[in-house]
Structure 1
Amino acid sequence: MREISPKEVERMLSSGTAVNIIDVREAEEVAEGKIPGAVNIPLGLIEFRKQDLDRSKDYVMVCRSGGRSSRAAEYLEGQGYQVINMTGGMLAWEGTTE
């Protein structure tokens, strides 16, 4: 599984690079703040919402600490999606949130 640091994601966003971010935390957690532009699909719904994702795009998976996003990334990778897990999750995120 490919991994990316929060700093790398932040650099990509600040440089204007299009980044497809999937936040797999629960809605209550996301309400406390998420990376701007991230789409919330809770881990428990990934299996049912995967058809909403485009297999030709790369997705950065995010959660609180990196564990749930790692599981989501493994699952989606096994389904043929291009995914990258953000290590450390939102606990390591120092960028802006919305």
Structure 2
Amino acid sequence: MNEITVTELSALPDAVIVDVREDDEYANAHIPGVTHIPLSDFVARVNDVPDASPVYVVCAAGGRSAQAVSYLAGRGIDAVNVAGGTIAWQQAGLPVQQGA
């Protein structure tokens, strides 16, 4: 599975990021500009995944996003797991937004 660190991701100018955390987690803090598709709705909403290559997938720490990346890869979509997730993003001091 392809992975990227939060530092590497933050350096990409036009990265397309999908956040698969649940609504309450997302509202608490999320990476600006992400597309939010909770993992619990992911299969039903897979057509909402932006048409980009690659798509970077983030969750809290990297486990749920890895599941989503595996699912997307099985559908032939170039997806990359964000190692450490939103927790690592915040620990690195990178910007977040709050609210839905």
Identify whether the pair has TM-score above 0.5, normalized to the shorter chain.
yes
The correspondence for 1:57, drawn from 53, 60, 69, is 53
Provide, for residues 32-71 of structure 1, a one-character-per-residue CA deviation record: whole Å limited to 9, x for no partner. Answer: 1111101110011111111223555311000001000000
Alignment of 1:34-73 (within 5 A): 34-54=30-50, 56-73=52-69
Structure 1 runs of 4+ aligned residues shifted over 4 Å read none
Query: Which residue pairs with 2:5 in the alignment?
Result: 5
Counterpart CA distance in 1 for 2:6 and 2:86 is: 8
Query: Which residue pairs with 1:81 in the alignment?
Result: 77
Deviation at 1:74, TM superposition (A): 0.4
**Identity across matched positions, percent:** 37
Any stretches of 5+ residues in structure 1 without a counterpart?
A: none
Aligned partner of residue 97 in structure 1, secondary structure:
coil
Counterpart CA distance in 2 for 1:20 and 1:56 is: 7
Aligned partner of residue 33 in structure 2, secondary structure:
coil
Change (3 A) 1:6 1:57: same
Q: Which amino acid aligns with 2:24?
A: E
Q: Give TM-score, length-normalised by structure 1.
A: 0.89
Counterpart CA distance in 1 for 2:88 and 2:11 is: 14
Counterpart CA distance in 2 for 1:56 and 1:89 is: 20
Aligned partner of residue 42 in structure 2, secondary structure:
helix
Any stretches of 5+ residues in structure 2 without a counterpart?
A: none
Aligned pairs, how many?
94
Alignment of 1:8-27 (within 5 A): 8-12=8-12, 17-27=13-23
Counterpart CA distance in 2 for 1:84 and 1:63 is: 12
